[in-house]
Amino acid sequence: MVNIFAEGFKQSKEQMIKSRMASEGERKYLIDEIPDYSSLVSASLRIPGPIKNNEDLSEIFEKGFKSFISDFDVKKRIFWDIATGPEAFVIVNSDAQIVKTAAVKFENETPLGEIFDIDVYIVHDDTLGPLRRADLHLQPRKCLICNKTAEECIKERNHSVDELQKHISDLIVNNK
């Protein structure tokens, strides 16, 4: 089967750290624009290994995220299609709990949902904080490969990059 990771530019740890800081900066920048009872959706792909974006990943992200967000009243949307991975920042006129519940459902139940990371942020006392699965008493994120939690398998390095990439590539090829 085709390996979608044959395309794309390898990203270094430094590039990923810079990119994470840029995302954090973008979220902070948007704080003032988030009205009461609204929330900020910050989405990316959960792609292990050095290749974080290419034509397939970018297309899947755009298609999948647009379908997720179409259920909401969007106030502002920003899309980044950058080498460290596609990202979106969207302010929606909906309560964070409702948006997070829908995000978890999307991650758990749609065919490509397992490779999406949809975080939902709320403003509290002028600071921005994520609403976590645990806050809603929902199960933690599962590993892409086995039945343990994603956190456990990342910490224990239970799966090789090759194994994870193969899983994601097959998933994408089968759901295009």
Footprint of Zn ion (CB under 5 A): 143, 145-146, 148, 153, 158
Closer of 56 and 114 to Zn ion (Cβ):
114
Closer of 99 and 143 to Zn ion (Cβ):
143
Closer of 55 and 163 to Zn ion (Cβ):
163
Closer of 15 and 158 to Zn ion (Cβ):
158
Minimum CB–partner distance for residue 171 and Zn ion (Å): 15
Closer of 110 and 158 to Zn ion (Cβ):
158
Task: Please give the structure tokens belonging to residue 28.
Answer: 């902070």
Minimum CB–partner distance for residue 156 and Zn ion (Å): 8
Q: List CB contacts of 101: < 8 A, sequence separation 6 or more.
A: 136, 138
Residue 61: CA count within 13 A, CB half-sphere: 25
Residue 35 and residue 19: Cα distance in Å, rounded? Answer: 26
Minimum CB–partner distance for residue 45 and Zn ion (Å): 18
Residue whose beta carbon is closest to Zn ion: 143
Phi, psi of 145 (to 5 degrees): -105, -50
Whether residue 127 contacts residue 108, with contact meaning beta carbons closer than 8 Å, is answered with no
Minimum CB–partner distance for residue 144 and Zn ion (Å): 7
Minimum CB–partner distance for residue 167 and Zn ion (Å): 10
Distance from CA of residue 124 to its chain's centroid? 22
Task: Please give the structure tokens belonging to residue 33.
Answer: 């624009």
User: Looking at the chain, how many residues does it have?
Assistant: 176
